[in-house]
Each structure stands twice: as C-alpha cells, then as structure tokens.
C-alpha cells in the first residue's frame, strides 16, 4: 500500500464542547474509554495513512502528551502549532512543508466509516484538484452546503446558509483530498477557511472540484449530545471502528482488573474499564460505559450513561441519560437524569 499523508484539524474555536472541555480539547474526549483521536488515527491507518500532521491551537500539550510521536499506533505524528487559530485552510498552509503529494485533510471531530481508499480512487478518476466528502442531513443549515451536478462536480459551496437558502441536503462531511497546488491559493500566516475562502475561490476559477457522496454512518461530535450519541451508537454497533471490540461476554465487556460483585445485575451493552468496582445489588442497564477506577456503591442504578474515570456513584443513587466527567462524586440516593456532570457544573444533556 502506498504511504499517504493526512492533516487533521484539531484546533480553532470549535475545539470546546462545554462543559466537558475545560481541561482537554474535544479531540481527546474518551470514546469507549479511549481518546477520540486514537480511534481517528486507527481509522486512517486502515487506509495506509501513516504520516499524520495534527494542527493544534487549543491546549496543544494535552494532545501531545496523549499521543506522543505516534509510534504506539504505528504512525508518525507531526504537530503544527498555531499561536492564534489560522482557520481550517490557514492551518493546512502552516503545514505546507510536509505536503508534497496528494494529501487528505480531515476535520478532527467527525466519526465515520467512510472508505477513504474509494474516495481516493474517485479523486484520481476525476482528476480533481479537490474532492470534498459529502453526507446527507435533515437540516443542512449548520453545515457547508454543497451542490453538485450529475457528474458529481461541485457547482456551489455555501457555508452555514439560512435553511431557506440551502439548495440541497448534501453537506460537507469534513474530509477532503487535495492536490498540493491548491496550497498556492491559501495566504500564509493569515486566518483563512476552506469553507468560506478556498473552496468558493477554486470554484470561481473553474478548477475541478468534486463531491464524493457517502450514505453510511457520519457524526460530527460538536455538542455533548452528539458526543453521547457516538458512544451509544458504538455500543449498540450502529457503527464500528478498528478499535472497537464489544463483542465479548454477550455485550458485557469488562477489564480483568474490574471488580464486579456477583449480585450486581447488568444488561448489555456495557463496557467497564480497569480498576472499577461495582457493588452489591448495583443495576446497570446498557448502553453504559464506565471508565477507570470508578466506584458504583451498593444498590446504585445506572442506565444509558457515559462515566469517565474516577467517578463515584453513591449507594442507592440513580442515574439515567448522563455523561459524568472525571473525579465526580454523586451522593448517595441522589437521582440524576439527563445531565452532563463535571466537578464544577451540572447542565442538561439533551434539550427537551
Ligand atoms: N488547526 C485548526 N485551526 N483547526 C481548526 C481551526 C483553526 O483555526 N478552526 C477549526 N478547526 C478544526 C476544528 O477543531 C474541527 O475539528 C474542524 O476544524 C471543523 O471545525 P468546527 O468548528 O467543528 O466546524 P463545524 O463543525 O461548525 O463546520 C465544519 O464541519 C462541518 C462538518 O462537520 C465545516 O467544515 C462545515 O462545512 C462542515 O459541514
Ligand atoms: Mg464540527
């Protein structure tokens, strides 16, 4: 397989997903107990993409500490830092020194099982300068709306138009394949976006820009609600990924050093990480993810929940439809429903 390069966009203002991102960018939020970027890197590696450039601006050291030089994942990671966010295209321009051949650019907050090999073949067949992956959504107004002709050539790209002005439900899915020449059109050291700058500009010059439609699973992890859905969808096998293995023990998967009381009751799908202790009479009804070193005290009951690390759920407490971040203690007999709970805040998870 040919060695390929990808640039992942993980900086900018959109890296926060409050209240979960006070101490980490969204790209390393745990998804089934592994940082999101680990899933992302494993996905790229499936297609022979082993040279990966991460463009960072928000809390860059947290990402670097998690991922290191990439050798643990069988890839080579390069970090390109922005003092101030340079915008999606500006961030790629900042990485120009590493980009000699056709390369991928990916929004770093999307989970999909789209076939990148097929997308590359499509890009080459069409001799495109840029190929934009597309996905179909009910409400395109929060996305880049991409109109194509019958040959899949892009006619128009409009970023976040009012709903009435969206001419199609096909939107920019946030994965691009680009020829290095297009970098010439991106100003250096300037804030510049693909969505509002480069793509409209290329279309204006008549350059061959194509849209690659994909109808499978696609999710932009842009809100706590979407982040929650991603964990649930993976647990329910609505989508899978190279790092996802939840088939063990009838959908109940726990680390060997988790301690589960024999009188705890569990309904799949449930995933429990190492060091966690599940007490007597605890009821867990999946989909549920429990991180490292959590404690569910006797008689607690949780359903439809994502717990990060070192969370304590007091005896008799009841949790439903919640994300609980690191180091939170929920008091005994409390009832918490539809909430994102962090050490400093509790906010609603799903808008009713
Ligand atoms: N390095 C860097 N620098 N990365 C950035 C910057 C920046 O200045 N600005 C944004 N990013 C990264 C974000 O971290 C994210 O991973 C990705 O670029 C997209 O930014 P979001 O803030 O999540 O944008 P969006 O979701 O509102 O819209 C984008 O994604 C949609 C698909 O999910 C656009 O590309 C839309 O056109 C698209 O439909
Ligand atoms: Mg996004």
pLDDT tens string 113-129: 999 999 999 999 999 99
Report d(CA 308, CA 63) in Å as an integer: 17
**Could you say which of 34, 152, 160, 226 is catalytic?**
160
List, as one string, the DSSP characters of 263-275. Answer: T-EEESSEEE-TT
Each residue's pLDDT tens digit, 225-237: 999 999 999 999 9
- When pLDDT is averaged across residues 69-93 and rounded to a whole number, the result is 96
| Contact of 202 with 209, CB cutoff 8 Å | yes
Each residue's pLDDT tens digit, 8-67: 999 887 666 889 988 888 999 999 999 999 999 999 999 999 999 999 988 889 999 999
Distance of CA 34 to the CA centre of its chain: 12
Ligand 1 in reach of 86 Cβ (< 6 A):
yes
pLDDT classification of 250: cutoffs 50, 70, 90: confident
Each residue's pLDDT tens digit, 290-344: 999 999 999 999 999 999 999 999 999 999 999 999 999 999 999 999 999 999 9
CATH architecture observed for domain 245-348? 3 Solenoid (2.160)
Report d(CA 10, CA 91) in Å as an integer: 10
SS3 call for 232: helix
User: Residue 23: its pLDDT value, please?
Assistant: 83
User: Shortest CA distance to 172 belongs to which of 204, 139, 133, 201?
Assistant: 133
| Contact of 29 with 15, CB cutoff 8 Å | no
User: Residue 179: its pLDDT value, please?
Assistant: 98
Report d(CA 120, CA 104) in Å as an integer: 9
Query: 212 pairs with which residues across the strands?
Result: 133
Most informative mutation of 7, 10, 14, 199 for ligand 1 (most atoms within 8 A of CB): 14
Distance of CA 200 to the CA centre of its chain: 26
Atom of ligand 1 nearest to the CA of 87: 8
Q: What does the angle CA 60 – CA 65 – CA 71 come to, to the nearest 5 degrees?
A: 115
User: Residue 308: its pLDDT value, please?
Assistant: 98
**Assigned CATH class of 4-223:** alpha beta
- When pLDDT is averaged across residues 218-243 and rounded to a whole number, the result is 94
Length of the chain: 352
Protein residue with least CA distance to atom 17, ligand 1: 107
User: For the chain, which residues make up each domain, given as ranges?
Assistant: 4-223, 245-348
Q: What is the pTM of this model?
A: 0.96
């Amino acid at each position: 397989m040919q060695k390929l390069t990808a640039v992942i966009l993980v900086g900018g203002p959109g890296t926060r997903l409050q209240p979960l991102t006070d101490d980490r960018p969204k790209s390393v939020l745990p998804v089934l107990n592994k940082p999101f970027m680990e899933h992302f890197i494993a996905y790229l590696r499936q297609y022979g993409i082993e040279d990966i450039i991460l463009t960072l601006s928000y809390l860059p050291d947290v990402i670097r500490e998690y991922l290191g030089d990439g050798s643990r994942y069988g890839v080579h990671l390069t970090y390109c830092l922005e003092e101030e966010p340079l915008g999606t295209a500006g961030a790629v321009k900042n990485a120009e020194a590493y980009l000699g051949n056709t390369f991928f650019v990916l929004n770093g907050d999307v989970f999909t099982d789209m076939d990148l090999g097929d997308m590359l073949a499509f890009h080459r067949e069409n001799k495109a300068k840029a190929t934009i992956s597309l996905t179909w959504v009910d409400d395109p107004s929060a996305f880049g709306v991409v109109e194509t002709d019958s040959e899949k050539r892009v006619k128009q790209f409009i970023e976040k138009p009012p709903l009435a002005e969206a001419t199609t439900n096909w939107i920019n899915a946030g994965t691009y394949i680009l020829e290095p020449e297009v970098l010439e059109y991106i100003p250096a050291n300037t804030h510049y976006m693909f969505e509002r700058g480069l793509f409209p500009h290329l279309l204006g010059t008549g350059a061959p820009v194509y849209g690659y439609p994909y109808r499978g699973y696609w999710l932009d992890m842009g809100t706590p609600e979407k982040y929650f859905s991603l964990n649930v969808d993976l647990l329910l096998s609505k989508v899978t990924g190279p790092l996802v293995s939840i088939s063990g023990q009838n959908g109940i998967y726990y680390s060997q050093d988790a301690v589960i009381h024999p009188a705890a009751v569990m309904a799949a799908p449930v995933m429990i990480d190492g060091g966690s202790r599940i007490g007597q009479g605890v009821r867990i009804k999946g989909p549920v993810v429990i991180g490292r070193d959590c404690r569910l005290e006797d008689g607690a009951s949780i359903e439809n929940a994502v717990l990060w690390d070192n969370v304590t759920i007091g005896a008799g407490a009841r949790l439903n439809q919640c994300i609980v971040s690191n180091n939170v203690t929920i008091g005994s007999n409390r009832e918490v429903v539809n909430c994102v709970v962090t050490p400093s805040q509790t906010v609603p998870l799903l808008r009713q």
